[in-house]
Amino acid sequence: MGKNNSWRICLLLLIAIGFMGCNNDNTVEPEGAIALNMLNEDNGKTTLGESGVYLDKSNNFTGRNVFLSDLGPMSNLGFVSDIKALPVADKVAATVGHGYLVYAEETRREFPSKNTAFAVGHTYYKMYIESAIEENKGVRVKYIPVTIPTGVLPEPETDITTGNASWSLDITKFRDVEYVVDPDLKHCFDFFVDEADGGSGIYLSIYQVEPLGYPATVNLYLRSGDKFSYVTFNAAY
């Protein structure tokens, strides 16, 4: 009896593994996927959406001021991950059956903590190569543009100017918060994180401790988890 039960358990496990494999192979492509014949620069130089990425003469993806990540082999566009901190290059081979992430260099920023974050409001591309075009003229791809949501962060370029030498920002909902101004200006400001009276929220306070010597609009970059934005304020001079 015990031996029969063991065989039944093994059989059920094999069936379950088989179903899992089938489900993975049938991952659905995202809604709105776009089919594109990307011709290389000798045959028309098709670009990927508005990314500026194209195929060079050797069928490598490249472009100006872009980052590309080759995610390796997969079954379709549905397997391409959301944007994340992965190795990047400015040129990668176009390999049939591989998935890719494509985005502008300015979309990615490394903070002093060595954490990498991505700019809210920016658009990146998920891409998958389905097949090669005859006579080595390029590749057939499926892609979809994705805009990084703002989430808890303020909209980029939000002006928080409220006074001559001090500013405040509500960061209650931020996760793993980090903030930084341009390196050349950081000695001019002090930062404090305080809880509001009654525990109603958490605020980042900025105080100017040295004059700049000239009028300037300062960018304050804010990271929450793996996303970032920036706000502006007019510094005293």
- The span from the CA of 109 to the CA of 72, in Å, is 24
If pLDDT is split at 50, 70 and 90, which confidence band does 215 have?
confident
Would the pLDDT of 205 be above 50?
yes
Task: Using the predicted structure, report yes or no on whether residue 39 has a pLDDT greater than 50.
Answer: yes
- Please state which architecture CATH assigns to domain 158-235: Sandwich (2.60)
- 5 φ/ψ angles, rounded to the nearest 5 degrees: -60, -40
Q: Which of 35, 27, 33 is closest to 74 using CA atoms? A: 27
- Specify whether the CB–CB gap between 94 and 60 falls below 8 A: yes
Q: Does the structure show a pLDDT above 80 at 200?
A: no
For the stretch 49-79, pLDDT in tens is 999 999 999 999 999 999 999 999 999 999 9
Torsion sign over Cα 153, 157, 158, 160: positive
Kind of pairing between the strands at 98-104 and 123-133: antiparallel
Q: Give mean pLDDT, residues 207-230.
A: 92
Q: Note the pLDDT of residue 149.
A: 97
Q: What is the pLDDT of residues 2-21, one digit of tens each?
A: 555 555 555 555 555 454 44
Q: Which amino acid is at 235?
A: A
| Averaged pLDDT for residues 156-161 | 92
Residue 216's pLDDT band (cuts 50, 70, 90): confident
- Rounded distance between C-alpha atoms, residue 180 and residue 193, angstroms: 13
Task: Identify the three-state secondary structure at position 195.
Answer: strand
- Write the pLDDT tens digit of every residue in 117-146: 999 999 999 999 999 999 999 999 999 999
